[in-house]
Amino acid sequence: MGSHMDKTGDVERESYQKLNPLITRISSKHNYTKSSYLQKRGIDLVLWNNDRQLTFEIKATDSNKPEYKTMFCEVCQDVRTCSPGFMYMVESDYLLWIYLSSGRIHLLKWKPFKHWFEANLRNYPTHYKNDTDTKWDTVGILIPWYDIGTALGKHQYGTFYLDHISGWEPRLTNLGLA
């Protein structure tokens, strides 16, 4: 297995380990999945909350990288193959972004965010990056987390730190997850 896959697996394992208390708080029945069918639809996690099935896409920023003030909204995964980025692949109910270095979570309802993103993407800078592990040239839109929170409001977006458990409850309640 190549170094990118090893690194990706490590980040996934670390994110799930750190997220486990939050996941357990939302639902006692959950499935962290590697199903290729669900993965292609941008679904990493399936939870049941009051007999409601909820799906989550999880994005994790490596623990050796800092917490960024912007969300990298990937629109093209690799320009050589024209493969779409996660912004056009995700079909989940929620997007959960964790910064492993700080434990900060950004949690948002996917459909309202995607609608807002499509209406506003031209207002933000395009960013090109080369991933040295995969050799992909990736394209994304950089949007400040503050703008996302302001646009979506507290019933569609919440941010908190994993180690501040008292901060979870109001955000989960606002998002319909408590």
Query: Which structural domains are found in the chain, ordered by start?
Result: 3-174 (3.40.1350)
Report d(CA 7, CA 61) in Å as an integer.
11
Q: Read off the tokens for 111.
A: 């459909």
Please write down the HEC assignment for all residues of 45-107: EEEEECCEEEEEEEEEECCCCCCCCEEEEEEEEECCCCEECHHHCCCCCEEEEEECCCCEEEE
Here the contacts of 169-172 (C-beta below 8 Å, separation 24 or greater) are 171/107, 172/25, 172/26
pLDDT at 3: 37
* Residue positions counted in the chain: 178
Of the candidates 24, 111, 127, which has an alpha carbon nearest to the alpha carbon of residue 70?
127
pLDDT per residue as tens digits for the range 42-59: 888 888 888 888 999 999
Query: Which residues does the chain have with pLDDT short of 70?
Result: 1-8, 29-35
pLDDT at 47: 87
pLDDT at 156: 97
pLDDT at 33: 59
pLDDT at 52: 85
Count CB-CB contacts under 10 A for residue 82: 8
pLDDT per residue as tens digits for the range 115-128: 999 999 999 999 99
